[in-house]
Amino acid sequence: MTNKWLEMRLAIPDQAVDLVSQALMEIGCTGITAAEKALDTFVVPEPDSLGNDPVLRAYFIYPENVEMLCDSVQQALSTLAGLYPELAETRLDYRQLADHDWASDWQQHFPPFRVGNRLVIHPSWVDWPTTGNEAVLTLDPGQAFGTGTHATTGLCLEALSDHFESISPPQSILDVGTGSGILAMAGAALGATEVIACDIDSAACQVARANIRQNQLTKQISITDDPLDKISGQYDLVLANILAAENIRLADQLVEHLAPKGRLVLSGILIEQEQQVITGFADFPLELLSTSHRDEWTCIVYQCYE
């Protein structure tokens, strides 16, 4: 087993975290943490001083040629600069870590955390005995974005948990853009009997399958990389933790998959894009139930009239 790791640090726009994380994983990154100035589910041990943008920490097995790895990362950032021009000017900082430093730096970012009255999510290196009616998930940070620590995922988890506290909790769930599978697993652990988790990224589906197996939820959850228009059925709860533009583009299909009186949870939306998304869904038979905010992000919850 290697005894050397490389930690690379990049200051990037918050809205680019998902895409940059995916690009780094394709290069060979073994894990990522995103540390902002104000975090709500974990504590960063040493504050970063690179402005208001999140500091992305990417961990690699120490390469034979560090400069070549940095060039690969810069090329990936340049490719994404068409969407986020700031990435073209991103500066890379890196340092070597020994095994014990890697474990300490990595694991301290992911303590267990609770959502609502019942849901608990913890990494595999922390034991959490199940008590009472707790729904406990084991989830390690890895190749698919979404451990619950990012504001968008946290907002969705809170909305999901609230639905299971209602007098008619959802029995069927469609999770659009499942990533790590965390929302699908939370729904199944809380009591849904039918969960479809879809993601057009086949690598994300592989990671989600592994997480679902680890949590022994394969009977409740089906994974597919089919596009949304190829998925049949209507669901009590539809979750879409994707970008604002994708929420709007897929609005017809998202609403079509709602059962009568079903609820729709939309996230991945910057606060300044909130009204744009609300306008994009204004012509559908939906009641706006709530909007919630965390950091720069918003989560919108609708209920179908029909």
Q: What are phi and psi of 264, to 5 degrees?
A: -120, 125
Q: Is 202 exposed, middle or buried (0-12, 13-18, 19+ CB in 10 A)?
A: exposed
SS3 302: strand
pLDDT at position 109 is 62
Alpha carbon distance 221, 241 (integer Å): 18
pLDDT tens per residue, range 12-22: 887 787 778 87
pLDDT tens per residue, range 43-82: 333 433 334 456 788 888 888 899 999 999 999 899 888 8
Alpha carbon distance 247, 269 (integer Å): 9
Q: Where are the beta strands (DSSP E) in the chain?
A: 4-11, 31-35, 55-61, 92-98, 113-115, 119-122, 135-138, 172-176, 194-198, 221-224, 235-241, 258-270, 286-294, 297-304
What crossing angle do the helices spanning 66-80 and 17-27 adopt, rounded to 10°? 140
> What does the DSSP 8-state code read for residue 14?
G
pLDDT at position 61 is 81
At residue 133 the predicted structure's pLDDT band, cuts being 50, 70 and 90, is confident
Alpha carbon distance 81, 83 (integer Å): 5
What crossing angle do the helices spanning 151-163 and 182-190 adopt, rounded to 10°? 20
Answer yes or no: are the C-beta atoms of 261 and 279 closer than 8 Å. no
Percent of the chain with pLDDT over 70: 85
**Domains delineated in the chain:** 4-107 (3.30.70.120), 144-304 (3.40.50.150)
pTM assigned to the model: 0.71
Q: How many CB atoms lie within 10 A of CB 17?
A: 19
The lowest-confidence range among 52-56, 142-146, 287-291 is 142-146
Alpha carbon distance 132, 8 (integer Å): 42
Answer yes or no: are the C-beta atoms of 281 and 238 closer than 8 Å. no
